[in-house]
A and B are shown apart, each in its own frame.
Chain A
């Protein structure tokens, strides 16, 4: 949570809403799977939805909640909306990478190369920095925006641990299912036109077939949370969507 929406959307929306950020089980955070074994985390969409409902119940939240997901978080949020529509008011999907369009092969190749090459160089050297700039720079429209990424010390500590082990396997969601979700819980998609993990045009087309509302940012990539003007504008657009 800290990496993405924690210091961006959260403080602004918490002025008017009760904001609750959930650490996914098996990801880099404080949520700990049963018996310290990530294999015990929710592994299906139904289990993921059930897990979220248990969290809400433990927090004694009975009324419908709005859902905001970013990237992989859009898959988690959609699980709740799909299986427990009565528990969701509205949903915002930010930079969805699995739900609306297949992942680009080019990005996959880049990600694999990045993962492999990063193991071969000193993490303290300039080569590591160049690799990071190359990979993360491709996920924003303007690489200078990476300067807005915060908490490098936490990122480094995360890298030292290894990989997240979230069991849920994300999938493309059919238009019919998305349409049903949108009928029950009005859904907004926010995506950058420079998105490189998926084809943004394909994602937008898929979303529009299901009548989802879509906001596109011309000069923004996957990590639009560190890019202007998307970073600031989306806060206002989210407020507007949730309040109407």
Chain B
């Protein structure tokens, strides 16, 4: 975890604000939105188009906020160590970065 919080995932005022905006946009953007149960948690799906037509499943990119790109960098560095990912960044950069994020 890069961040510690007194709130669980999807809980707290910041998430409430996010959902207010998200739901308003989704309502206009998609014809149908619902959650389905999986072993890994409730999964949100948005749908448009005739269900009788061939299905296309879309997978989005990781959320594009400023923090994400920093976190993404840490993720990539860790990937480089665990899976032969060809990235070489000084370890101290990772440590400094994670420490700064924890301090938020």
Contacts and interface: CB of A to CB of B under 8 A. Distances in A.
Interface of A: 1-7, 9-11, 13-34, 36-38, 40-42, 47, 50-52, 54-56, 58-59, 61, 63, 65-74, 76-77, 80, 89, 95, 98, 102-103, 105, 108-109, 111-112, 114-116, 118-119, 131-132, 135-136, 151, 153-155, 157-166, 169-172, 242
Contacts of B9: 26, 32-33, 36-38, 165
Secondary structure of the B contact surface, majority rule: mixed
A197 B101 CA distance: 22
Contacts of A7: 29
A14 B56 CA distance: 9
A70 B14 CA distance: 26
A23 to B, nearest CB: 4
A30 B61 contact: no
B88 to A, nearest CB: 7
Which of A16, A52, A161 has the largest count of B CB atoms less than 10 A from its CB? A161
Contacts of B42: 31-32
A162 to B, nearest CB: 5
B63 A20 contact: no
B53 A22 contact: no
A20 B55 contact: yes
Given A34-B40, A154-B21, A68 B73 contact: no
B26 to A, nearest CB: 7
Contacts of A22: 43-45, 57-60
Nearest to B3: A162
Contact of A108 (B37, B64, B89): B89
Nearest to B82: A169
Interface in B64-93: 64-73, 75-79, 82-89, 93
A154 B25 contact: yes
Interface in B31-51: 31, 33, 35-51
A58 to B, nearest CB: 4
A160 B21 CA distance: 13
Given A30-B44, A103-B87, A13 B63 contact: no
Interface of B: 1-3, 5, 8-11, 14-15, 17-19, 21-22, 25-26, 29-31, 33, 35-73, 75-79, 82-89, 93, 96-97, 100-101, 104
B104 A54 contact: no
Which of A1, A27, A136, A157 has the largest count of B CB atoms less than 10 A from its CB? A1
A10 B53 contact: no
Contacts of B14: 157, 160-161
A65 B57 contact: yes
B77 A73 contact: no
B9 to A, nearest CB: 5
Nearest to B18: A157
B37 A169 contact: no
A77 B35 contact: no
Closest 6 CB pairs of A and B: A115-B70, A73-B59, A71-B61, A14-B49, A30-B44, A58-B36
A65 B55 contact: yes
Contacts of A1: 46, 58, 60
Given A18-B55, A28-B18, A157-B18, 7 more contacts: A1-B60, A2-B26, A21-B57, A29-B60, A36-B11, A116-B70, A163-B71
